[in-house]
Amino acid sequence: MRELLRYPDFRRLFVGRLVTNMGDSVYSVAAMWLVYSLSGSMLYTGLAGALTMGPSALQVFVGPLVDRWSLRRTLVATQAAQAVLVLVIPAAHVLGALSAELVLVVMPVVAMLNQFVYPAQNAALPRIVEEDELTAANSAFSLAYQGVDMALNGVAGLLVVAVGAVALYALDSLTFVVAVACFAGLRVPPVTDDGDDDPASYLDDLREGIGFVRGTVIARLFGASIMANALLGVTWAVLPAFADARGGAGTYGFLLAGISAGTLLGALVATRFDGVPYGTLSIAGFALAAAAWFAALLAPATLAAVACFAVAFVPVGVTNVVSSTMIQRLVPDALLGRVMALLGSVGTAAMPLGSLLGGAGGDALGAATVMWVGGVGFLWIVAYVFAVPSLRRLGAPTAVETLSHQRDRHSTVVADGGE
Let me know how long the chain is: 419
Rounded CA-CA distance 156/257 in Å is 10
Is 190 within a domain?
Answer: no
Structural domains of the chain, count:
1
Residue 396: count of CB within 10 angstroms of its CB:
17
Residue 418 lies in a domain: no
Is residue 129 included in any domain, yes or no? yes
Q: Amino acid identity of 211?
A: G
Whether pTM exceeds 0.85: no
Helix residue ranges per DSSP H, 198-216: 199-213
CB 318 within 8 A of CB 272: no
Per-residue pLDDT of the chain (419 residues; tens, 9 = 90+): 667 777 888 888 888 888 877 877 777 778 888 898 888 888 888 888 888 777 777 777 777 787 778 888 889 999 999 999 999 999 999 999 999 999 999 988 988 888 788 778 878 888 888 877 877 887 777 666 656 665 666 677 667 777 778 888 888 888 899 999 999 988 887 664 444 455 557 778 778 878 888 877 778 877 777 877 787 788 888 988 898 888 877 788 788 778 878 887 887 888 888 788 888 999 999 999 999 999 999 998 888 999 999 999 999 888 878 887 777 777 877 787 777 777 777 767 777 888 888 888 888 888 889 999 888 888 988 999 999 888 888 777 666 555 544 443 333 333 333 33
Name residues whose C-beta falls within 8 Å of residue 130's C-beta, 6 or more positions apart in sequence: none
CA dihedral (320, 158, 232, 119) in degrees, to 10, reads: -40
Residue 135 lies in a domain: yes
Is 87 a member of any domain? yes
131 burial class (0-12, 13-18, 19+ CB within 10 angstroms)?
A: exposed
Q: Is residue 338 part of a domain?
A: yes
Asked whether residue 148 is assigned to any structural domain, the reply reads yes
User: Nearest Cα to 256, choosing from 159, 167, 334, 321?
Assistant: 159
Question: Using CA atoms, how far apart are residues 380 and 124, in angstroms rounded to an integer?
Answer: 32
Residue type, 181: A
H helix and E strand count, the chain: 20, 0
Contacts of 400 (CB under 8 A, 6+ apart): 326, 329, 330, 413
- CATH number of the domain within which 272 lies: 1.20.1250.20
- Supply the range of the domain harboring residue 145: 4-185+197-407
Answer whether residue 417 is part of any domain: no
Residue 133: HSE in the Cβ half-sphere, 13 Å Cα cutoff: 17
